[in-house]
Amino acid sequence: MVVCVSDYAVWQTIIETHDLAGHFKDTCIIQLTTGTIEDVQRHGSFVHEHGGRLADGAVMCYPRNLGTEDASLLLSGASEVLEECDPILSMLDASWTNLGENLNGPAILSRSLMAGMTAALMGIVNGAAMCRAGGVPLDTFMTFYERNNGLIQGEQRRLVGAIQEGRTQENEASIKAWREGNEALLSVATSLGTNLTLQSALQAVFQEGRSQGLDDHDLSALVDVFDPGSGS
């Protein structure tokens, strides 16, 4: 059984309406519905209690991409369950990703990836709004944005590497420099009359980094702002 609905509450309603729990015994459920860690845990226990087997996953692409080379599925579950599900999963994504037995894996990784994707896409929309308000052609904006893609991808790899290796003090551009750059961005956005929500949120993160004494560190040191419990 493959399940992919809007949320776990909808799935629970379907189960109750059609008395599906009584049919879970000896059934393998591929759960691709987006949910919280609590949703995943409750559902995993529920399926197990009713004699079913579970592969929990996340869809990291548009529906139109499923079954193509652009498909992207994340799955977790017992190895024998994932092996059982492989023929169906491979039709959806020939190179689906096995995250092991931790059922929370897809929820955590998919939402972590969404953090970066959402911020990047919101950023480009915000930048387009500023250019539109300031009379800069959007074609010109896009040309320079695309030129920076290589730099951005390189920085993404460098930031994660610095966090992995504990090199967050080394920098070419300090958090202070980034914070001051964002202050200038706020000033330009204010002059243009564009919405300041995104820049203000970023500034709050920079200010928190400053309050933790990270001003002279690399941008990667802000990981301790987002995850204060594991600070170095």
Residues 64-119 have pLDDT tens digits of: 999 999 999 999 999 999 999 999 999 999 999 999 999 999 999 999 999 999 99
Q: What's residue 71's pLDDT?
A: 98
The per-residue pLDDT for 150 is 86
What phi and psi, each to the nearest 5 degrees, are found at residue 131? -65, -45
149: pLDDT strictly greater than 90: no
Q: Are strands 28-31 and 53-59 parallel, antiparallel or unpaired?
A: parallel
Average pLDDT score, the chain: 95
What does the pLDDT read at residue 93? 98
Using CA atoms, how far apart are residues 93 and 74, in angstroms rounded to an integer?
Answer: 10
Confidence (pLDDT) at 168: 96
As a whole-number percent, the residues of the chain with pLDDT over 90 amount to: 94
pLDDT above 80 (res 230): no
**In the chain, what are the domain boundaries?**
2-106, 148-230
Q: Which CATH superfamily is domain 148-230 in?
A: N-(1-d-carboxylethyl)-l-norvaline Dehydrogenase; domain 2 (1.10.1040.10)
Please say whether the structural domain 2-106 has been given the CATH code 3.30.390.30.
no
Residue 156 backbone phi and psi in degrees, to 5: -60, -45
What's at 150, amino acid-wise? G
Cβ-proximal residues to 88 (8 Å cutoff; 6+ apart), any chain:
2, 30
> Which three-class secondary structure state does DSSP give residue 177?
helix
For residue 201, give both structure tokens: 């949120």
pLDDT for position 232 = 54
For 107, other C-beta atoms within 10 Å of its C-beta total: 23
What confidence category does residue 229 fall into, taking pLDDT thresholds of 50, 70 and 90? confident
pLDDT tens per residue across span 7-35: 999 999 999 999 999 999 999 999 999 99
Can you tell me the distance from the alpha carbon of 138 to that of 37, in angstroms, rounded to the nearest whole number?
40
Mean pLDDT of 157-164: 96
Rounded CA-CA distance 124/120 in Å is 6
The per-residue pLDDT for 219 is 97
- What's the whole-number mean pLDDT along residues 105-134? 96
Residue 196: what pLDDT? 97
Residue 171 pLDDT = 87
Helices (H), 3-148: 8-17, 37-49, 79-92, 105-134, 138-147
Instruction: Determine the Cα–Cα distance for residues 8 and 29; give it in Å rounded to an integer.
Output: 14
How large is the average pLDDT for residues 176-188? 97
pLDDT bucket at 231, cuts 50 / 70 / 90 = low
